[in-house]
Amino acid sequence: MLEIVKYPQRILRQKSRKVKGILRPEIQAFVRELAETMLASDGLGLAANQVNQNIRILAVNTKAGPQVFINPFIYFRSFKREAGEEGCLSFPGVFGLIKRSQRVRLFYCDEKGKIRHLKASGLLARVLQHETDHLNGVLFIDKVVKYIKGEEQVKEWMSQAKADEV
């Protein structure tokens, strides 16, 4: 199992780079480890930079089991949004309400390097938006409309992050 990076470590704020050579053994091994780490941590999703790799790969726990999204690109987000509860493995004990598009459409590559298309709605759409945000250095605390749990902790971490910048 890979170690999960916690906020405010800087890699969580970096934009991840596109993956080239999906069939390379090190990428293949990483993809498996990412999915395993997500499952072992009881996460609905996990982005590569949350395990210290600055590359555009996500693992998402779908109804059909763990699924990997390489170089995902959300090209459509529904105008209609809904608020839902989210947490994040990089923010233990923090939960908040976030507004996300109810439906999204995306292109991505699977672990065999094949280009795929997906229409997602509801929870899957929410998780995909949360995880693709990670690849751009965007975190759910940037979008929270109301904290459910852990607001004080987040404030503490944020001041720590500011102190680290200096």
What single string gives the DSSP state of each residue in 23-92?
TSHHHHHHHHHHHHHHHHTT-SEEEGGGGT--BSEEEEEETTEEEEEEEEEEEEE-S-EEEEEE--TTST
Tell me whether residue 85 is one of the annotated catalytic residues.
Answer: no
Residue 135 sits in the site that holds Co ion (CB under 5 A): no
Looking at beta carbons, which residue is closest to Co ion? 88
**Shortest Cβ 130–Co ion spacing (Å):** 6
For the CB of residue 138, give the shortest distance to Co ion in the complex, in Å. Answer: 10
User: Coil, strand, or helix at residue 16?
Assistant: coil
Structure tokens at 163: 């102190």
Q: Smaller CB distance to Co ion: residue 88 or 135?
A: 88
For 53, the token pair is 């790799």
Is the sign of the CA dihedral 28, 32, 37, 43 positive or negative? Answer: positive
**Nearest distance in Å: CB 47, Co ion:** 7
Kindly name the residue from 36, 85, 111, 131 that is annotated as catalytic: 131
Does 127 participate in binding Co ion (rule CB under 5 A)? Answer: no
* Residue nearer to Co ion on the CB measure, 57 or 88: 88
Q: Which of residues 69-98 bind Co ion (CB under 5 A)?
A: 88
Cβ closest to Co ion, residue 99 vs residue 114 = 99
Q: How many residues does the chain have?
A: 166
Catalytic residues: 131
Binding site for Co ion (CB under 5 A): 88
